[in-house]
Structure 1
Amino acid sequence: MTFLFRSSLLLSICIALAACATLGGVRTLTLSEAELNERLQRQLPIERRMLELLEIRLSEPRLQLLPQSNRIALTLAVASRERLSGRAYQGRITIDFALRYDELRQAIRLEQVRVTDFLIDDLPPRQQAQTTRLGSLITEQLLKDLAVYRFKAKDLQAAEGMGYAPGAVTVTARGVEVTLVPRSSAQ
């Protein structure tokens, strides 16, 4: 065979393999930072009553993608009011977390939730330290395994009909990417 013929044959094989890989390979679904912020805005403010003693309101989300650690940071304004005394407090909390796909519940969930900063305005240092410890513990427990995105059944059925299923969830500079893998690889 001549060099030109072999080169053409090799190029044709490479193109065919690339086409096959594209047809049956991994695909991704990306939720941009703007889409994530929009979804957050629709879910906030969140208001909760804790043990009939404290009312808490979370609002003003600021989301930051942390692709280097495959995590997301979220800062929220915190407003709280003691029900017995009526005293009100303002502050900010910052958490970061990873994401995972939960096949059973067909949702993307928070995992490895960490409070990285919790500050209540105008609290004395000793009281701030106690509040930070307690607030961190409560927040991490409340948010652990929280569903932040649920797939619609029709979307999952459409993906499954094409032989795909959600796999890994990765934080990138572009947003959150959900890898759609061929169904045989996802199981």
Structure 2
Amino acid sequence: MTRPAAPARRRFLRAALTGCSVLGITVSLAACASPTFPFMPSHYTFSQKQVQEAVQRKFPYQRTVSQVFDVALSNPVVGMLPDANRVQVKLDARFASPFLRQPVDGVFTLSSELAYDAASRSVILKSPSVDNVSVSGEAQMYTQQINAAAALLATQLLTNYPIYTFKPEQLQFAGVNYEPGTITILTNGIRVQIVER
């Protein structure tokens, strides 16, 4: 009596697993199990490489700050800070100013929290702050001004910048709407919890 049920069960499982793969991000089978619905992922994980590609689209970037410094930023390198639950971005910086005899190169490092913006369905950089600005030579005389310029740039450039945008079908299944919950920084990526709205 159980034989006729077996093909139907296999078809159901195949359809459910296909539904998981259609959602757009590769998830493990364990991630497919959710207490809310057995085939809705309990979380999505996206890689450091995906974050790197998203941030890289913003650069190179050049701006005059306070009519004193011309700042050019390029070559972003994204890192994960799991202990602080923050994302770090290290940038090559080039500063030019009437106060400097010639442009000066340096390194500009900032870090940011992550948050979910429901209006755009995006995980965004929230409240980025400057961790370090390193310059050499005569520019060291203007470290305070350069740090202020870097902080202003960080706020203007990366506040609310989306690093991942969910597709509508990733947050809806069988007529039920879901939304991201807790965002956790891992050593090699970012895990976003999915909860019923």
Scaled by the length of structure 1, the TM-score of the pair is: 0.71
Taking a change above 3 Å as real, the CA distance of residues 27 and 20 of structure 1, as seen in their structure-2 partners, is closer
The CA distance in 2 between the partners of 1:137 and 1:43, in whole Å, is 17
The CA distance in 2 between the partners of 1:115 and 1:68, in whole Å, is 18
Map of 1:159 onto structure 2: 171
Map of 1:135 onto structure 2: 149
Aligned length: 162
Taking a change above 3 Å as real, the CA distance of residues 173 and 41 of structure 1, as seen in their structure-2 partners, is same
Scaled by the length of structure 2, the TM-score of the pair is: 0.68
Residue number among 170, 174, 187 corresponding to 2:188 in the alignment: 174
Q: What is the CA distance between 1:101 and its match in structure 2?
A: 0.3
For 1:30, what is the secondary structure of its paired residue?
Answer: strand
For 1:107-126, what aligned pairs fall within 5 Å after superposition?
107-123=122-138, 125-126=140-141
| Alpha-carbon RMSD | 2.9
Map of 1:6 onto structure 2: none
Q: Which runs of 5+ in 1 are unaligned?
A: 1-18
Q: Which has the higher helix share?
A: 1
- Structure 2 residue 54 is matched with structure 1 residue 39: yes
Taking a change above 3 Å as real, the CA distance of residues 145 and 71 of structure 1, as seen in their structure-2 partners, is same
Map of 1:105 onto structure 2: 120
Q: What is the CA distance between 1:166 and its match in structure 2?
A: 2.1
Q: Which runs of 5+ in 2 are unaligned?
A: 1-32
The CA distance in 1 between the partners of 2:94 and 2:82, in whole Å, is 30
Letter in 2 for 1:165: E
Q: What is the CA distance between 1:140 and its match in structure 2?
A: 4.2
Map of 1:5 onto structure 2: none
For 2:137, what is the secondary structure of its paired residue?
Answer: coil
Residue number among 72, 85, 89 corresponding to 2:87 in the alignment: 72
